[in-house]
Every structure is written in C-alpha cells, then in structure tokens.
Amino acid sequence: MSAIDLAVIGGSGLYQFPGLQNSERHRMDTPYGPASGDVVLGDFAGRRLAFLARHGESHSVPPHRVNYRANLWALHALGARRVVGVNAVGGIRADMGPRRIVVPDQIIDYTHGRYTSFCDVEGAEVKHIDFSEPYTASLRRELLAAAARAGVATIDGGCYGATQGPRLETRAEIARLKRDGCDLVGMTGMPEAGLARELELEYACLALVANFAAGCGDEEEISIEEIFAHLAAATAEVPAILAEMLKS
Ligand code: HPA
C-alpha cells in the first residue's frame, strides 16, 4: 500500500481539509511548473490523506489557469494512487438542484487552451489512453457506499460538462449542453480526469451542486452569494463521506 491512502483535490469552497492532523506541507516543483499550492499531508480517520486546494488556499487561481498537470504530478510523486476530485458544479438535470452531491460517471470536455496531456512536452512519448469510462468504477462505488453509510444522500451517475469559465454559461450554452446529454456543468473536471488516467491514478469526482445552471432554475440571474452558501453546506458533508471511505 502506498504511504498515502487517499489524495483529495479541493475545489471552490474547500481550501483546507477539516480534521487533518499532524500535517506537514510539501511544496512541489514539478517538470510542469508549480502546483496550485502546497500539498498538505496528514492523518485523517486513522489513515494518511493528502490534500491540495485546486484554486490555491486563498482561491487565487481561476479554473482555466489551474496547473492541472503539476497538481496531478505532485500528488503522484508523493505516492498517491487514489484521488478524489471535489468539484463545484451547476445542476442541469431537474433532480440535481443546489446542495445535491453527485458522483458522475461520464464527462464531456468543452474547455480549450489548457494543457490536456503529459505528452504536450517536446520529446515526450505519445501515450493514448482508454477513456471510455473516465472515472474509476471501483473508487466511484466506494464513494457511493461510504456516503450511504455516513447518511449522506448522493446521486449515482451523471454526465459532467466541463466548460472554460471563469464566467458562468449563457442559457443557450446550457441548452446545448443539455442536448448533448450533460446533467451537470463545472469548470474544472477536465483536463484533471484525463491527466489522472495518464498517470494511471484511480480517480473519481464528488460533484457538489451550488446552483441550477443558467435557465434550469426559477431565477432570472444566478446569485454568486447563493452559490457559495449552497457550496458551504454541501462541502460540510465531504469529510464524513471520506472518513467512512477510509475506515473501511
Ligand atoms: N457553471 C459552471 N460551473 C459552475 C456552476 C455553473 O453554473 N456552478 C458552480 N460551478
């Protein structure tokens, strides 16, 4: 077993991992540049957990500027083999309203101009990966079972549409995503999932619904304040889910 039992990449609203004890910080310079911040390694639920804030601990890195390659590489270099990405999302499907927690099983990438592969580097060996199932099925199942044991309701499956951000989408853009089969929309799901697969990491996503996506709820406009309030409520459930997962 690797020295790290689980790595968590925290999204908007999750900048420190609550309950992480005896923690040490690792500043990781990588061949791809610096990670979003220090990897914090500590004890949680009797296991070793590594935490990295995707947007930096003061939320200073926007989704399109996150150094996804450095983040994944840093976690892998420290010995992580299983990674849970926690991502704020907007809900498109009617049952995926604010504060719901979804474990998606598919993703469509609408982002652009991001480094999407470790073989984007001069001289690197070209590596094709199977991505039919973008998330690791066993890790998804573990998350869902742990949430059930912790008494936290989750939705099993859904298609995550990864958009560029940092602005939210237009109603027309969301209507298009819906036609494409997306159930959720977020700005950080890709290239993270693909890079994790390139490194042969197990990877799954806990998607926290912060709002109904544009045109999917009753509101004329989406309130950014409400987004953060809903996000805080959903984020509060995350440690209990992961504690259950690590205990088993
Ligand atoms: N769109 C994209 N990303 C998001 C949203 C949204 O509506 N809400 C939270 N993250």
Neighbouring-strand partners of residue 208 = 88, 101
Q: Is the CB of 88 under 6 A from ligand 1?
A: yes
Neighbouring-strand partners of residue 9 = 52, 85
Question: What does the alpha-carbon distance between residue 32 and residue 54 come to, in Å, rounded to a whole number?
Answer: 15
How do the pLDDT tens digits run along the chain, 248 residues long? Answer: 348 999 999 999 999 999 999 999 999 999 999 999 999 999 999 999 999 999 999 999 999 999 999 999 999 999 999 999 999 999 999 999 999 999 999 999 999 999 999 998 888 888 899 999 999 999 999 999 999 999 999 999 999 999 999 999 999 999 999 999 999 999 999 999 999 999 999 999 999 999 999 999 998 899 999 999 999 999 999 999 999 999 98
Residue in the block written with tokens 């079972």 = 145
Architecture category of domain 6-247 in CATH? 3-Layer(aba) Sandwich (3.40)
Q: Is the CB of 86 under 6 A from ligand 1?
A: no
- Write down the pLDDT at residue 176: 98
- Write down the pLDDT at residue 122: 84
Cα of 142 vs centre of ligand 1, distance in Å, is 26
- Write down the pLDDT at residue 1: 38
Cα of 187 vs centre of ligand 1, distance in Å, is 7
Q: Is the CB of 194 under 6 A from ligand 1?
A: no
Q: Is the CB of 168 under 6 A from ligand 1?
A: yes
Q: Is the CB of 238 under 6 A from ligand 1?
A: no
Question: What does the alpha-carbon distance between residue 154 and residue 27 come to, in Å, rounded to a whole number?
Answer: 34
Q: Domain coordinates of the chain in residue numbers?
A: 6-247
Q: Which atom of ligand 1 is nearest to the CA of 87?
A: 10
Q: Is the CB of 185 under 6 A from ligand 1?
A: yes
